[in-house]
Structure 1
């Protein structure tokens, strides 16, 4: 869980939102940390609609 959470954060910080999202989607358990990371990075990269959609579904 910790390794996957870290990888989601690393991928998203590096701008590889596709890889981050793929990994995020395969996580058996999702804590607030990877969810927040994905929403934040989507918003920072101008993907506000995706950030909002992810926020709304969780």
Structure 2
């Protein structure tokens, strides 16, 4: 029997203000759309929007 895709995968969150990025996990079964989170960007030293850039 063939194994399906894993539910959890590592994704990259890219800052909208700088080149900084975070890596986190996402359950693809529960959230199929791309994630957008407001997180702290240490390069510009303020909270900015981070968008899902891709998976690893």
TM-score for both structures, normalised by structure 2: 0.24
Structure having the higher helix fraction is 1
Higher strand share: 2
Higher relative contact order (CA 8 A, sep 6+): 2
TM-score under structure 1 length normalisation: 0.23
